[in-house]
Amino acid sequence: MPFDVLRVRQDFPVLGREVRPGVALVYLDSTATSQKPRQVLEAMDAFYRRSNANIHRGVHTLAEEATAQYEEARARIARFIHAPSPRQIVYTRNTTEAINLVAYAWGRAFLKPGDRILLTEMEHHSNLVPWYLLAQERGLTLDFVPLTDDGHLDLEAYRQRLSDAPRLVAFTHMSNVLGTINPAKEMIAQAHQAGAIVLLDGAQSVPHFPVNVQELDVDFLAFSGHKMCGPTGIGILYGKMHLLEAMPPFLGGGDMIKAVHLGSFVPNEVPYKFEAGTPAIAEAIGLGAAVDYLEQIGMEAIAAHERELTAYALERLEEVPGLHLLGPQAGEKGGVVAFTLDGIHPHDIAQVLDHYGIAVRAGHHCAQPLHERFGIPATARASFYLYTTREEIDKLVEGIYQVKKLFG
């Protein structure tokens, strides 16, 4: 079935709304969070209306149904990223919590003073601050792979920093500001040769193009449900089994234990030892439905659609006088376009665009070191997904001309 963006749009109720009477929504902020198709909303609604119960406890019908749906979703998510086993899929709240889980459980257990962690200048704060906290606590040394002026990682510098034998390398698969898609497979292989394990931040890659954890040979992969048509409050940590098994538990509480006695406990097996307390059950089921939805449309088709849109957007935006684009050229990046306009603060750009119903993000997008690298406090950012159209990009460009007119 060929990709039909207008048919896709009919699945997303919010895309039909007006921001104000007569002003249609142009949603260009999917990198912050994606919109949700009715298939996901209906799956969550059906769970609450029919099967709501706590999981892994109780033998009544509803508890069995809830547990089955929760675990089926885990299996679908495992298949989606080609994980060998659903047991390697740990439910978290989001990418941030998945990365923190590795920092706390793996980092505290296996890193010692003087050990090095290698990060990059293009990371989201969620893949920086957990390591800063761990470094402070454990006396670790942090290194950073620098960026080139055109928004790529400096891979020569990466190889040099690997010679310092970092224990862990953590980097983003795709930058949430520059859109740069990093050569993860090659970088992971080089890190492994240097003796490091690798955590890949997949928050922007898993929603937008096919990601195969076995082909990448990645040790940990973290991503969020809400950026891939799923609900907020659910994220995933994938890990290699031997690493997950060696790690101590993360949070303590119910469900993460096999047995509890006065003064001692026996941890549950992987992945349950990392899932303390009643989890986001409906949200996990919603993410399972999101994965089904994306697979049914096809991740290759989605990626192709976004590539075409990004090329078109860059071509149109390059024509605008005084507009400066950040990041690589079309063909080397995903559907994220960050830009500045001479003499106009990004907040003002976003505010004026909102007047025309156009939703973009303004600020440092939780990547302050990246903005410092390019010597700018903030950017405006438009981002695309499977439901974005060329007409919406035309509206963005028209809106930018209105911004320039107002402040000109």
Partner 1 sequence: MDDLYREIIIEHYKNPSYRGKLEPHDIAFADSNPLCGDHIEIQLRVNPEGRITDARFDGHGCAISQASADLLLESIIGKTLDEVKQLNRQHVLDLLGIELGPVRMKCALLSLKVLKAGVYGLGSADDSLVEE
Which residues sit at the interface with partner 1, rule CB under 8 A?
345-348, 351-352, 355, 362-364, 377-378, 406-407
CA angle in degrees (0–180, nearest 5) for 252-255-260 = 70
Q: Would you list the DSSP string of 229-266?
A: TS-TT-EEEEE-HHHHHHSPPSS-STTSEEEEETTEEE
- What is the smallest separation between the CB atom of 327 and partner 1, expressed in angstroms? 19
CA angle 395, 399, 404 (to 5 degrees): 150
Q: Under 8 Å CB-to-CB from 359, ≥6 apart: which residues? A: 25, 26, 27, 28, 29, 353
Pick the closer one to partner 1 by CB: 56 or 345.
Answer: 345
The whole-angstrom separation of Cα 336 and Cα 22 is: 28
**Rounded distance between C-alpha atoms, residue 216 and residue 227, angstroms:** 21
Q: How far is the CB of 351 from partner 1 (least distance, A)?
A: 6
Which helix (H) or strand (E) covers residue 56, if one does? none
Laid out side by side, the sheet with 168-172 consists of 89-92, 235-239, 220-224, 197-201, 168-172, 116-120, 141-145
Minimum CB separation of residue 348 from partner 1 in Å reads: 5
Closest CA to 196 of 161, 147, 154: 161
Structure tokens at 265: 């406990």
Q: Is 366 annotated in the active site? A: yes
- Measured CA to CA, the distance from residue 186 to residue 169 in angstroms comes to 13
Question: What Cα–Cα distance (Å) separates residue 219 from each residue in 169, 215, 242, 343?
Answer: 10, 11, 10, 45
The structure tokens 């234990």 sit at 257
Q: How far is the CB of 378 from partner 1 (least distance, A)?
A: 5
DSSP string, 154-179: -HHHHHHHHTT--SEEEEESB-TTT-
**Cα separation, 356 vs 19, whole angstroms:** 9
Q: Choose the catalytic residue: 194, 366, 376, 397.
A: 366
38 vs 345 by CB, closer to partner 1: 345
Rank residues 239 and 399 by Cβ distance to partner 1 and give the closer one: 399
From the CB of 343, what's the least distance to partner 1, in Å?
9
Contact 1, 28 (CB under 8 A): no
- Residues 27, 8: Cα–Cα separation, whole Å: 14
Q: Tell me the closest approach of the beta carbon of residue 393 to partner 1, in angstroms.
A: 22
Nearer to partner 1, 255 or 348 (CB): 348
Q: Which is nearer to partner 1, 23 or 155 (CB)?
A: 23
Minimum CB separation of residue 349 from partner 1 in Å reads: 9
Closest approach of partner 1 to the CB of residue 384, in Å: 23
Half-sphere exposure of 186 (CA within 13 A, CB side): 8
Q: What is the DSSP letter of 402?
A: H
Position 161, amino acid: R
- At 142, which amino acid appears? L
The residues annotated as belonging to the active site are 366
